[in-house]
């Protein structure tokens, strides 16, 4: 899988690419190549959606994956802002066909 996306902060712009997406049934694994390489494990629990970044020894709960603003805010609480923006953009780039109900495009945020 190769899926390109673009990120922006108040100070810079950069490109990112999802290079791998694996569905393990209980969760997904995604590899992002951008300003750095990031592996993200994500899925659903009884408390909602989660994302874990093993290389950062960090994780948090999220809303639906297409809620980029909320994801960015939650991720910034556990990792640096640039990587948080990159992950939030990558999660938002995923379609319902790729990740099912984790990306609820029917909602208007």
Tell me the pLDDT band of 62, cut-offs 50, 70 and 90.
Answer: very high
Percent of the chain with pLDDT strictly greater than 70: 94
Using 50, 70 and 90 to split pLDDT, how confident is the model at 63? confident
Binned at pLDDT 50, 70 and 90, residue 102 comes out as: confident
In the predicted structure, residue 107 carries a pLDDT above the cut 60: no
Q: What stretch of H or E contains 65?
A: none
CA 57, CA 1: separation in Å to the nearest integer?
A: 25
Q: Which domain holds residue 73?
A: 3-95
Report yes or no on 20 lying in a domain. Answer: yes
Domain count, the chain: 1
For residue 52, CA distances in Å to 3, 29, 36, 72 come to 20, 10, 16, 13
Q: What is the per-residue pLDDT for 48?
A: 85
Instruction: Examine residue 84 and state whether it is found in any structural domain, yes or no.
Output: yes
| Long-range CB contact pairs, 44-50, < 8 A, 24+ | 44/102, 49/102
Report, as an integer, the average pLDDT of 85-89: 97
């Amino acid at each position: 899988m190769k899926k390109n996306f673009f990120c922006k902060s108040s100070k810079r712009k950069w490109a990112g690419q999802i290079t791998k997406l694996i569905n393990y049934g209980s969760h997904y694994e995604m590899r992002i190549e951008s300003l750095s390489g990031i592996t993200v494990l994500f899925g659903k629990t009884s408390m909602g959606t989660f994302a874990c970044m093993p290389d950062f020894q960090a994780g948090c709960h999220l809303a639906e994956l297409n809620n980029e603003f909320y994801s960015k805010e939650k991720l910034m609480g556990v990792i640096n802002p640039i990587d948080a923006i990159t992950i939030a953009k990558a999660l938002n780039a995923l379609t319902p066909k790729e990740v099912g109900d984790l990306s609820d495009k029917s909602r208007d945020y």
